[in-house]
Structure 1
Amino acid sequence: MMKDWWAKFGCFLTGWNYQILGGCTEASRKQLKKYSSAILILVILWSFIGYSFAERYVGAPIWGRILTAFIFVVIIVQIERQIILTVGRSKWLSWFRVAIAFIMAILGSSILDQIIFKDDIQKKMIQIVDRQVNEQLSGRLTIIDKKLGELQVEIDSLDKKNLILYEEISKQPTIKTVSQTITKIQFRQGDGSFTTRPQTTISTTPIPNPKVKETEINEQNLEVFRKQKEDYTQKKIKAEASLRQELKSKQGFLEELNAIIEILRERSVALFFYSILFFFLMFLELFVVASKTKDTKSDYDLVVEHQLSQKVKTLNQLVK
C-alpha cells in the first residue's frame, strides 16, 4: 500500500501515467523513484529559497511567503516535466535545460549566499553606506546651502524694507483724512416763506498710518522665512545622519547582491564557497537531464514510444 502511494505521488510529480506504469516492470518503478527523488530535492530546496526571498526582500506576510514558495515549486516541477515527458530524446531540449539550470544555479546560489553570509553582508553594507555618504553628502549640503542663501536674501530684504517703514511711521504715526458733508438747511425769507440751501461741512479725522499694516504683513512673512531657515539649518546639521539612515532604509536585493560581489572579489574563501554552492545547485538541476539522456530506456518509455509509433502508423494508413 505504501509503495502504491509513493508511485502515485511520483506519477503526480513527473506527469507519468499511473495506469501505464501498472503494467511495467520494476525497472520503470525504479526510474520513477529516481525522477521523483530528484524533483523532490529541488522542490524542498526551491521552496526554502522562495520562502526566504519573500521574507527577506519582499517583506511578505506568512501567507505571502508560503504562496511564493508554492509558486517556485510549481515552476520547478513544470520545468522538470519538460524533460521527463519528452518522448524519445531531444538534444535541443537537453541543452535548453542546461541553460536554465545555469541561470537557476546563479539565482539560487545568490539568494542562499545572501542568507548564509548575512553577517558579512551587513558589515560590507556599512562600508558601502559610508562610501555612498561621502559621495552624496557634498551634493546634499550644496542644495541646503543654496536654499539657506535664498532665504537669507528674503529675510534681509524684508528687514530693510521694515526699517524704512518704521522710520516713516515714527515721523508720521497718523495721517489726516478730509471728509466733506453737504446738508440742506431751510431758511426763512423776508416774505415769510422758506427756502432750502446746501451747507457744506468739512471735517478732518486722524487715522493710523496704513504702512503699519504693511509692516505687520512683513513681520508675518519674516516669521515664516525664519522658521524655514531654522528647519534647513537643522537639516544641514543632521544631513549626514539623515542621509545615512536613508541609505540604510533603502537596502534591497540588488544592494546586497553588490555587497556579495565585493565580498567575493576581496575574499578567496568566500569565492570558493560560492563556487561549491553554485556547482552543487547546477548538478542538482541537471539530475533529471542526466537520468533522461544517459540511462537505458525503461519499459515505460518504450511503451509510450510504441504507442506513439502505432498511432503514427494508423494515421498514415488513414491518410492513404
Structure 2
Amino acid sequence: MEFTVRGTPVRITKGTVIIVLVCLAGITFGGYDYVQQSEAVDDAVPVEATIEGASVTQSESRGSLDYYVQIEFTYQFQGTQYTGDQLFPGSISQSYDTRSDAQSAIEPYEAGEMVTAYVDPADPSDGFLERQTITSPFEFIAIGGLGLLLTALNAIGARKPGTETGLRSEHEYTSTRYQTLFGVDRGTVHSLSIRLLKIALFVLPASVVSVAGILLFAGSGSGDQVNLQVELTDPAGVLLGMVFLAAITLVIAVLFYSVWSFTEYRRLRERIPEPRPPSPFTHPTRLVTICLGNYKLDAYGKRIQKTGVAFLVVLFFLGTLAQILIF
C-alpha cells in the first residue's frame, strides 16, 4: 500500500506491518515487566528461605557471552511451601558481562544458608531474593523502539534514493573543495586510513587471542579460580599494550575514513545538476533507506551508504568509550 502525506510518499508492506507488531510487542513486554517488578518490590513482604543451590550458566548471544545465575530456594507463606528460582522480581533474567560478576551476585547465597526472601501476597508463588528492580526490561524497550524508528524511516520517503543520480562528468566539473584534510592531501588521508584499518584489524584479534591463550595456559592445572597479576614487562602485558594500541589505531582509522568519505560525498553532490535531491544526511528517511536498501546503488548512493555506516561505527566506538569511562 502506497500513499502520500503532504507530498511525502509512504509505502507500507506486509513485512513493515509484521516488524512494527514485533517491535510494539517487545516494547509492551518490557514496559509490562518493569511495572510488574515495581509493584512486586513495593508490595513485597519478607519471609525466611533456605537456599537449595546456586550456580552460574553462560549463553552465547550476538557473538558474545552472557552469564546468568541459577538459584533455587524454598520458603513458606501462610502455611504453604513454595520453591522459588528468581534472584530479582519479574520474568526477565538479569544478565552479566563476566562470570565473576555473576559469581558475586550469588556469593551471599550458599546451599543450606537461611536467607530473607520476598513475596508479593497477591502472588506468593513468585518469591525473589533481592528487593530491587533491574534494567533488563529497558533493553526490550530500546531494541523495539529502535526497530520501530528504523522501520518508520524506511517506509517514509523516496523508494529508491541513491539510484540513477545524474552526475556531471569530472571533465565537465571538478570540485575544488576539500583538496586537503587536516592539512594533508585528501588522497593521502584516504590511503592512510585504509592502511591503519587493515593493520588494526589484523593486530587486534591476534593480540586478544594471544593474551587469552597465555592466561589460559598460566591458569591451567588448577581447578580453583586464580588471580593473575600482569605486568607491562610480561608477555601478556606487552600483548595487552598491543591490544590497546590496536584499538586506538582502529578508532583513528575509522575517524579519518569517515571524514574523508563525508567530504567525498560532498564533492560528488556538487556534480549533481540543479535541482538537487535533498541531502540524505538532513533527511534520515532517505539515509535509512539507502543504508538498509538491497537494491543497486549508483556511485552517489554507494558513497552515502559507506559514509553512513562509517558514522555508525564511530558512534559505536564513542558509546563504548563513554560506557568504559562511566563504569
Provide the TM-score with structure 1 as the length reference. 0.22
Give the greater-gyration-radius structure (CA).
1
Structure with the largest fraction of strand: 2
Normalization by structure 2: what TM-score? Answer: 0.22
Instruction: Pick the structure with more helix per residue.
Output: 1
Bigger relative contact order, structure 1 or 2 (CA pairs below 8 A, ≥6 apart): 1
